[in-house]
Amino acid sequence: MSKPDRVCVGAIAGAFGVRGEVRLKSFCTEPEDIAAYGALYSEDGARSFTIKLTRPVTGGLGARLSGVATKEEGDALKGVTLWADRDRLPSLPDDEFYHTDLIGLAVYDTGGVAIGKVRAVQNFGAGDILEIYAPGRKTTLMLPFTRAVVPTVDIAAGKIIADPPEDVE
């Protein structure tokens, strides 16, 4: 399985002010790092932007993007995700992962029985949760992404070992 060569680091939340400044939502651990990765791209790679942060704003960061000079241009980009080249991102410690690397991994229980595949990584405010598509289930399985519930992540082998709490079954 090949992983993308770009990682989503943020999104444009719309125009801020009338001179082309936009509000960014940063998905980086340190929000300001979004400006440190060089050019950022739209998901399809059709557009690229250089970013200059201007100020903190409610719900994100104010920024100027190359090629955006008016409020209308900023508003037209609302919802566009911003992607950085993977090789520009810092290496992570052994116990941290980019969400994009977890999506699609097969999930097995501690006895080696297949549970499903990671569909998404969610965070509703209390920590990351793996959303797992499990064949035969009517809903996706939601597992807290903690060391107790997910003791092993082996990206090279394309699998995760999980020990779901009994009430999750």
Domain boundaries along the sequence of the chain: 6-88, 99-164
Antiparallel, parallel or unpaired: β 159-162 and 22-26: unpaired
- Domain 6-88: CATH class, spelled out: mainly beta
> 144 to each of 46, 105, 148, 150, how far by Cα in Å?
35, 16, 9, 8
**CATH of the domain spanning 99-164:** 2.30.30.240
The percentage of the chain sitting over the pLDDT mark of 90, rounded to a whole number, equals: 55
Report strand pairing: 106-109 vs 114-123. antiparallel
From the number of C-beta atoms within 10 Å of its C-beta (0-12, 13-18, 19+), residue 82 rates as buried
| Bridge partner list, 124 | none
Residues 11-24: pLDDT tens digits? 999 999 888 899 99
**pTM of the prediction?**
0.71
